[in-house]
Amino acid sequence: MPRLASRFAILMILGSGCVLPPLNATGLEFSWRFVETNSVDDTEEEDNRWVRTCNGAGVSRMFFVISQPDLPNRTGTFDFACTAGFQSESSADTQNSSAYVELREGTYDIAVVARAVTGQDQPLEPRTVEVGDTSVTADTVLMNLPTTSWSFEVQGATECQEIAFSLLLADPAVNVADPPVNEEGEVSEALYRENLVSVEGLNLSGEVAPCSAELDGFDVVENVDVGTYWVEILVDDRRCRSEPFTISLDGGAITLDLETLACEPA
C-alpha cells in the first residue's frame, strides 16, 4: 500500500468500530451510501428509489486514493470496510462515520473505488476536496447501483382466474437502509417499484390481471438494479413466492412455475 509523506497523519480503520478524530484535528471524514438507479417511480417532487445497505449493494470495502494536485508524488491509498463509513440520510444526523483520514489544510484530489463482495472493483466519480485548517471536513460519496436486464419465464398461468406479480427486495431489514415498517413498527415487505413493467407489458408491482396463455413464456425487465430479490405471485386465493435470487451484472434468469412455487392461502 502506498504511503503518504510525513506531512500526512494516517489513521486506518480495519473494523467497523467508531473511531473519532483527535481533538483539534483536521482532515477528511468519509461516508457513503448506495442509491438505486432505476427511476421509474420518481416524480419532479420526490425521489422514490431505495437506499441500499452495504449488504444490499453487495459492497465489501471502499478505497480512497488521495493526492495533492501541486505535489503529484504525494499519494496515499486508504482502505475501509464498507460498514465503517456507510450512513443513511437518517443515521448521518445522529452518528459519526468511522472512516477518517487526518490531513493538513489544503486541496486534495480523491479517486474512489467500491469493491464488490465478488471482488469486482467499480471506480466512482473522482472528486476534489478542500480541507480547512480548523476542523474536520465531511465528504459523502453517493454511489448509484449498476443496472442490468433481468429475464424470467412464467409457467402455468392458464390454470387460474386472476394473477398478480410483484418484484420485492429480499430481506429489507438487512438490505435496505431505512426499510418500510408497518403500524406495529415491524419491517414490512419492500416493493421494488410501483410502476415496473416488463418488455412484454407484464406488471410486476402487484396489479391484478386475468390469467391467460399470453402470460406463459419468457420475458425481460430492463434497467433493474443489481441485488437480491424474490417474486410474490397472488394466484386466485393463494399467495406464492419464489426463492430469493440475485440479479447481477451477468443477469439472474429464473423460472416461475406456478405448479411448484411455495404457496399459502391469501
Domain boundaries, the chain: 27-144, 147-265
- The single residue listed with the C-alpha cell 415496473 is 196
At 58-72, the pLDDT tens digits run: 999 999 999 998 887
- pLDDT of 113: 97
Query: In this model, does residue 4 exceed pLDDT 80?
Result: no
Architecture of the domain made up of 147-265: Sandwich (2.60)
* pLDDT tens-digit readout, 92-146: 877 889 999 999 999 999 999 999 998 999 999 999 999 998 888 999 999 999 9
**Cβ neighbours around 142 below 10 Å, total:** 12
248 CA to centre of own chain: 12
Taking the C-alpha atoms of residue 80 and residue 73, their distance in angstroms, rounded to an integer, is 23
Amino acid present at 63? F
State the average pLDDT for the chain: 89
CATH topology of domain 27-144: Immunoglobulin-like (2.60.40)
Nearest to 34 by CA among 142, 196, 156, 151: 142
Please report which confidence band the pLDDT of residue 21 belongs to, taking 50, 70 and 90 as the band edges.
low
Beta carbons within 10 angstroms of residue 155's beta carbon: 16
The predicted model gives 250-264 an average pLDDT of: 91
Helix (H, G, I), strand (E, B) or coil at 232: strand
Cell reading at 214: 399470453
